[in-house]
Amino acid sequence: MYNFLGTRYVIKGQQHTEFHKNLLQLISKNFQIENNKGITKGTDEKLNTKITGQKDIGVFIEKFDETMQSPCKKTFKHLNSPNTTAKGKSFPWWMDAFKIMRKRTNTLRRRYERTLNNEELRANKKKNQ
pLDDT tens-place string over residues 7-59: 788 888 788 888 888 888 888 888 888 766 666 677 888 888 888 888 888 88
Q: What is the pLDDT of residue 44?
A: 80
| Residues ≥6 apart with Cβ < 8 Å to 70 | 22, 26
Q: What is the DSSP string of 47-108?
A: HHHHHHT-S-HHHHHHHHHHHHHHHHHHHSEEPPPS--SSTT-S-HHHHHHHHHHHHHHHHH
Is a pLDDT exceeding 80 seen at residue 129?
A: no
Kindly report, residue by residue over 59-99, the tens digit of the pLDDT. 888 988 898 889 888 888 877 655 554 455 556 556 666 78
Does the pTM surpass 0.85? The reply is no
